[in-house]
Structure 1
Amino acid sequence: VRMGTDTGAGNPGVWGGLVAGDAASFAESAIQLCTDESAWVGARCNSRRLLRELYAKEPNLDGIRAAVQRAAEDLTVRRARDYSGAVLWQQTARSTEYFSRWIELKEAGSTKSASINAKQEKLRNEALPEVVIEPLSEQR
């Protein structure tokens, strides 16, 4: 079922389904396709025929090849015009750079942090003087 007007659908019956202009007629058309086997078979046959006619490999392949060839020939110009793509690539490159810097610092810091951890452990294991905390006397 397709939303739209009958005039916007082109030739009635050629499209592989039914056309509905509002939600109520959309629901009615969907119910009709699900309950009326002949309507379902007709829509299915039309849709398969349209797929074969409109998207057949042979008639469309030359156009696709030509479009790909043109895009490959004008790649530098296309990329120069693609501002949002350039911004995304730049941001990706920068994030990769900062991530690699973080890894380098982390690896460099792991050797330093190992020696710091050893010193901290040594200090923990040394005997600490015993501290006795006595309650305050209640003198006022």
Structure 2
Amino acid sequence: MPLTALRTQPTAALIRTVITSYGDGHHDAPLGSALRVDARPLRNPPEDPAVREQMLRTNGLDPHVRDYVLATPGAERLIERSFRRALALLALSDQHRVDMHVLCGGGRHRSVVVAEELAARLQAVGYGVETEHRHIDRPVLG
């Protein structure tokens, strides 16, 4: 399977976290042990008639999509809780990597935004992070 979007964040820190976003509807979830973050309860941009057309042409790396997802009720709570869990796991050992799998329905919008936000927060406190967006280039599901 080709890697559709792999982004290594610029940092001097060693990579301690790999965050993979994906769409559960594609039925090829990443394998391995990971902290799982489910972004499906957040508002799904393509389901909102007011922004559907724009969202069909964009993904979670677009600033408008980012703002839309982060303005969803519960988004900050989900991200902060996941960030705190990752920090707790990272604090347990300096030797091990902590992987995070962030999912939504199609892997283009919500999971990408949440993965990028988690990466930014972990970088801000000094952890090296790599992000992979498995389904960002796939068509919107449903």
Task: Give TM-score, length-normalised by structure 1.
Answer: 0.23
Higher helix share: 1
**Who wins on radius of gyration, i.e. which is larger?**
1
Task: Give TM-score, length-normalised by structure 2.
Answer: 0.23
- Higher RCO (Cα < 8 Å, 6 or more apart): 2
